Amino acid sequence: MANELLIRVYDVGLGDCIYVRIPAVSGDNNDAFHMLIDCGTWSSESLLETALKQLASELPAATGAGKKRLDLVVVTHEHKDHIAGFDPALWEKFAVSNVWMNCAMNPKHPEAGKTRKVRKVAEKAMASLTSLGSALSPRLSELVSVFEIGNAGAMNTLRHALLAGDREPTYVHAGQTHKDHGIELHPNATIHILAPEFDFDRFYLGKVAQTNLKGVIGADAFAAKDEADPDSKTDTDTASAAVPDPPPEPKNISQAAFRALRARMQSNAMAFADLDGKLKNNSSVVLLLEWKGKRLLFIGDAEWHGAFKEGKMNGSWNVMWKERNELLTQPVDFLKIGHHGSENATPWDMGSGTVTEEAKILEAILPLPKAGNKPTARAVVSTERGKYRTIPRGQLLKEIARRVDGATSYADDLRNYQPKDVADFLAYEREWLTELQPPRTDFERIRNNNGFIDVMFD
């Protein structure tokens, strides 16, 4: 097994925790390259503890440290379902050699200064909203949780505690490979970084959004002097600031007017939180691992927003199709399905049958097999039904299943399954259960009581 490339996708509920072992020339596990892509969940953190315990059993001992060696930890982006597991207590047994984070996570990155402005406005809006002390809708509760104090703790661990000797993480961007960061691999292996682009504000926030936002939050919202402030707190540090006290009961306006004001605050907070969420998803580190002619694609939560257009707030997939086209126009042998099976994270035609840029991307990386042939590519989705209405999207998983090997029907295994939200399950899952789907972590646990899904290449 040590001479096979291993991808292990852990079941951590709604979240990502992916171990990759790249063999060495010697075939010895001690010489292999061991990396982890993300460590987070929206579900029970006990699942992360179990995953990390199992991971430790796979790793070689670190030299003279009494710990287990991880050569690289990749943090795709700053969302709880990707970073919640970076608790110092969970990482005491690991010696980490390198940490990669996306360039937009660098608090000093000047080409993401306007994006940081949006994030600060979103944080302030959500803090004001929660200070009202009123019951929040399920959607608003989800958005509020994005700005949890726990995220700041995870980011502090990543920036200051995971690497020994006060070393800082490496902030990566598209166009780089492992060689640019001094990492040595098997001579037949290459790690390409496909996203995000270095000029983050230009590609993902766009000129149109910047202009519109100036009208909402003030003409000086994107003042150049504020775009990169080396002495400022990081974005996640601001999330731990005290939430304002609830405002007093209104004295000079009616209860109806106060409710209307609160509704506008909720609407504004939701708009900024949604925008910040899209920007974070589109900041995802996207990796293409090439090994002995195999092409393995890990895309985090990168989104697609329609065909690329200069000045637009573009999706990461559309930017990659324009800027990194030569690496995406060939089929892949493995796809880690993005954003837990969300409809906006795998480019597709949404079932319309229309030839769009997104349909072209999907056909390029996972082409439909010709008549009489079986697909050979593999795909896995880490998901859990019950947190978001359209995650996973059954119709999308059915479409991917047409293009990959190892697809299966889970209908028989789920006859007694009790979903957390019956209405959403019936709307987005039940219709597709008799259809083939790619392997998914939640249903594999039900079927086989497996805590992970393995994919190997020799």
Q: Which residues does residue 456 pair with via DSSP β-bridges, in sequence order? A: 6
Do 240 and 354 sit in the same domain of this protein? no
CA distances from 63 to 184, 196, 336 (A): 18, 34, 32
Q: Find all residues with CB under 8 Å of 66, minimum gap 6, and list them.
A: none
Do 389 and 307 sit in the same domain of this protein? no
Residue 152 φ/ψ, nearest 5 degrees: -65, -40
Domain extent for 405: 331-451
**Interatomic CA distance for residues 68 and 83, integer angstroms:** 20
Task: Determine, yes or no, domain membership for 456.
Answer: no
Exposure of 147 in the CB half-sphere (CA atoms within 13 A): 30
Do 344 and 426 sit in the same domain of this protein? yes
Residue with the larger pLDDT of the pair 151 and 136? 151
34-43, 44-53, 142-151, 355-364: range with lowest mean pLDDT: 142-151
Question: Two tokens at 133?
Answer: 């002390």
**Interatomic CA distance for residues 175 and 189, integer angstroms:** 16
Which position has the token pair 């000047």?
Answer: 110
Question: Two tokens at 310?
Answer: 């200069």
The confidence score (pLDDT) of residue 422 equals 76
Q: Is the pLDDT of residue 228 over 60?
A: no
The confidence score (pLDDT) of residue 235 equals 40
**Interatomic CA distance for residues 195 and 313, integer angstroms:** 15
Do 148 and 31 sit in the same domain of this protein? yes
Dump the DSSP string for 277-311. Answer: HHHHHHT--EEEEEETTEEEEE-TT----SS--TT
Do 159 and 290 sit in the same domain of this protein? yes
The confidence score (pLDDT) of residue 136 equals 62
pTM: predicted TM-score of the whole model, two decimal places? 0.89
**Interatomic CA distance for residues 388 and 152, integer angstroms:** 23
Q: Is the pLDDT of residue 288 over 80?
A: yes
Mean pLDDT along residues 23-51 = 93
Mean pLDDT along residues 145-173 = 80
The confidence score (pLDDT) of residue 256 equals 64
Do 44 and 146 sit in the same domain of this protein? yes
**237: confidence class by pLDDT, cuts 50, 70, 90:** very low
**Interatomic CA distance for residues 323 and 174, integer angstroms:** 9
Pairing of the two strands 286-291 and 18-22: unpaired
What total number of domains does the chain contain? 2
Pairing of the two strands 68-70 and 72-75: unpaired
The confidence score (pLDDT) of residue 243 equals 38
Do 294 and 342 sit in the same domain of this protein? no
Nearest 10 degrees: Cα torsion 192, 82, 380, 455: 70
Q: Is the pLDDT of residue 259 over 60?
A: no
Of the residues 301, 328, 355, the one at which a domain ends: 328
Q: Which helix (H) or strand (E) holds 200?
A: helix 200-200
C-alpha 433, offset from chain centre:
25
Do 289 and 367 sit in the same domain of this protein? no
Length of the chain, please?
Answer: 458
Do 73 and 180 sit in the same domain of this protein? yes
Of the residues 300, 328, 356, the one at which a domain ends: 328
Q: Each residue of 163-174: b (16+ CB within 10 Å) or e?
A: beeeeebbbbbb
Do 336 and 322 sit in the same domain of this protein? no
Summarised one tens digit per residue, pLDDT across range 41-89 is 988 889 999 999 999 999 999 987 789 999 999 999 999 999 999 988 8
Task: Determine, yes or no, domain membership for 309.
Answer: yes
Do 343 and 284 sit in the same domain of this protein? no
State the amino acid at position 150 in one-letter form: G
Mean pLDDT along residues 425-442 = 86
pLDDT above 90: percentage of residues in the chain: 57
Q: Is the pLDDT of residue 242 over 50?
A: no
**Interatomic CA distance for residues 273 and 104, integer angstroms:** 17
Question: Two tokens at 158?
Answer: 């990543």
**Interatomic CA distance for residues 457 and 131, integer angstroms:** 52
The confidence score (pLDDT) of residue 191 equals 98
**245: confidence class by pLDDT, cuts 50, 70, 90:** very low
The confidence score (pLDDT) of residue 211 equals 80
Is residue 236 within 8 Å of residue 78, measured between CB atoms? yes
Q: What is the DSSP letter of 437?
A: B
Summarised one tens digit per residue, pLDDT across range 164-212 is 877 899 999 999 999 999 999 999 999 999 999 999 999 999 987 888 7
Residue 235 φ/ψ, nearest 5 degrees: -60, -40
Average pLDDT value over all residues in the chain:
85
Q: Find all residues with CB under 8 Å of 87, minimum gap 6, and list them.
A: 45, 153, 154, 157
Do 339 and 270 sit in the same domain of this protein? no
Q: What is the CA angle 437-443-446, rounded to 5?
A: 150
Of the residues 284, 311, 328, the one at which a domain ends: 328
pLDDT above 70: percentage of residues in the chain: 83
Task: Determine, yes or no, domain membership for 195.
Answer: yes
The confidence score (pLDDT) of residue 6 equals 97
The confidence score (pLDDT) of residue 125 equals 76
